[in-house]
Structure 1
Amino acid sequence: MKSINGKVIWITGASSGIGEALAYELDKKNCKLILSSRKEELLQQVKNNCSHPKNVRILPLDVTNFEAMPQKGREAISFFGHVDVLINNAGISQRSLIMETDFEVYQKLMDVDYLGTVAVTKAILPHFVERKSGHIATVSSLMGMFSSPYRSGYCGAKHALHGFFDSLRMEHEKDGIAVTMVLPGFIATDVAKNALKGDGSAQNKDDDATKNGMPVSELAQKLIKAIEKKKMESYIGRKEILAIYIKRFFPKLLHKIILKSQVR
């Protein structure tokens, strides 16, 4: 894809954070947007904030309602007659020790971050195969490549995404379908505030690393470039992305660095 200008883009998790920022950046490129999340009122606000609201459709969606997903896929296609790009962005994080985390919290993290993403992808995949064209960009995390204390369930779900989408890429390259895994580092969003504690309630507080992270608009711009370049993986952040390479060549060193940093 040389340019994303004018393409039809379906974004999940579009009511805030990375998804909202993507909507504004793609709106500048005259893209036709399908915005999804559970929060219809916030989606309407995002639409109204776009310069070309006539090119924006709202599709309320709970990614954990797996049975409804095939119909949601058909609705997404019906808005503009086709979809060019799916951006899987819906997700939730976690901040709790394994010993203090209810099993139900792990189930929710897998349902939202992994199975929900798989369900949305499967809903649009036959359309992409039929058209012999399509691009799936999935927002993972650096935590999808290595792990950290307090994030066991989140890391597990993000690791699972890589296994699934690496397989999808191999199976459907022949169908003209591209897959880009996007691995953000610390981005200035509410991800830490919304992160689940061990009992399933929201943490409701920010952390310094997230608060001082890359501006979300900058992340959105880099993510769009990664899609245009059809990158297989894109690491987006500041110095924290070096951890990818430390993990690859010096895993024991990264283990010590993370334990010493006590990032929560």
Structure 2
Amino acid sequence: MDFNNQVIWITGASSGIGKALVMILAKQNCQLIISSRRIADLEAVKNACPKPENIACLPFDLADYQTMSTIVEKAVSAFGKINILINNGGISQRSLIIETDISVDKKLMEVDYLGTVALSKALLPYFVKQQSGQFVAVTSLMGKFASPYRSGYCGAKHALHGFFDALRLEHEKDGISVTLICPGFVNTDIAKNALTGDGSLQNTQDTATKNGLDVNLFAERMLKAIHKNKFEAYFGKKEVLGVYLKRFFPKFLHWYILRSVVR
């Protein structure tokens, strides 16, 4: 796994999966652009790396998807090029459909789908011009099948698969590739930061997330999939089986999830 001389842009880089990716890649001979909403958090990650001079901090909010052209210009100017965009930023949800205000669904689509799509579309002309580039989207196993308490999150993640599959088809001729990363449960703060039905944060960890894959192990596996230029990669424990059950035995998957405790 060698990203030598690559410029890699990572969103959601101040914590969780994004931070783990930064800490691994910072040990290689590559340059990083790291993004999230808060500059102080990004600077803390940068200063914890062995070669902070190879890291540029670029704060922005994915919900501000009308401003992405300006953000991309700043990113390209940091090191003169971008080879890989890792779309990792996003939020999750924990609430029943009947108890979820439509504003929460809107927020999930704005951040998880529209923000990611707008950023990728703004960068696309640069990739076309240089006739190379890789889009990576961290979706979820929830982009392949659904689970209770995550309706808006599942909808946004399913939508990402449709968009990036189309992008891959349209721009393979331009030397552009797409890798969809589909994690199951990874031990991060995603559950604590998940939105509830009224838009407030859940602020508690759930058992499944706590018992999920170690975030550093996941990041290592994810980077191997990116390096191999895989179309899709699934990571997790037994929850990965859901991808194949959805394809071949959808009624059984429905029955199994109903009888599982997934919050």
Alpha-carbon distance in 1 for matches of 2:3, 2:254 = 39
Instruction: Name 1:168's counterpart in structure 2.
Output: 167
Letter in 2 for 1:46: V
Alpha-carbon distance in 1 for matches of 2:159, 2:66 = 21
Q: How many residues align?
A: 263
**After the TM superposition, which of the residue ranges 66-75 and 142-151 deviates more from structure 2?**
66-75
Which runs of no fewer than 5 residues in structure 1 stay unpaired? none
Write the deviation string for residues 183-239 of structure 1: whole angstroms up to 9, x where unpaired. Answer: 001000000000000000000000111001101111111111111100000001122
Runs of 4+ off more than 2 Å = none
Alpha-carbon distance in 2 for matches of 1:31, 1:136 = 17
Structure 1 residue 179 corresponds to structure 2 residue 178:
yes
Instruction: Name 1:64's counterpart in structure 2.
Output: 63
Structure 1 residue 53 corresponds to structure 2 residue 46:
no
Alpha-carbon distance in 2 for matches of 1:73, 1:18 = 22
Alpha-carbon distance in 2 for matches of 1:16, 1:53 = 17
Alpha-carbon distance in 1 for matches of 2:79, 2:86 = 16
Instruction: Name 1:227's counterpart in structure 2.
Output: 226
Instruction: Name 2:197's counterpart in structure 1.
Output: 198
Q: Is the 8 A contact 2:193 2:203 kept in 1?
A: yes
Shift of 1:3: 3.2
Instruction: Name 2:105's counterpart in structure 1.
Output: 106
Alignment of 1:82-93 (within 5 A): 82-93=81-92
Write the deviation string for residues 28-72 of structure 1: whole angstroms up to 9, x where unpaired. Answer: 122200000101111000001111100000001111112211011
Quick one: percent identity of the two aligned structures? Answer: 60
Instruction: Name 1:142's counterpart in structure 2.
Output: 141
Q: Is the 8 A contact 1:30 1:52 kept in 2?
A: no
Letter in 1 for 2:113: Y
Alignment of 1:18-57 (within 5 A): 18-57=17-56
Shift of 1:23: 0.3
Which runs of no fewer than 5 residues in structure 2 stay unpaired? none
Alpha-carbon distance in 2 for matches of 1:25, 1:237 = 20
- Is the partner of 2:146 in helix, strand or coil? coil
Instruction: Name 1:129's counterpart in structure 2.
Output: 128
Alpha-carbon distance in 2 for matches of 1:51, 1:261 = 43
Alpha-carbon distance in 2 for matches of 1:131, 1:218 = 33
Q: Is the 8 A contact 2:34 2:58 kept in 1?
A: yes
Alpha-carbon distance in 2 for matches of 1:206, 1:32 = 33
Q: Is the 8 A contact 2:2 2:28 kept in 1?
A: no
Shift of 1:122: 1.0
Shift of 1:248: 0.9
Alpha-carbon distance in 2 for matches of 1:49, 1:142 = 31
Alpha-carbon distance in 2 for matches of 1:5, 1:17 = 24
Instruction: Name 2:11's counterpart in structure 1.
Output: 12
Instruction: Name 1:236's counterpart in structure 2.
Output: 235
Alpha-carbon distance in 2 for matches of 1:123, 1:217 = 30
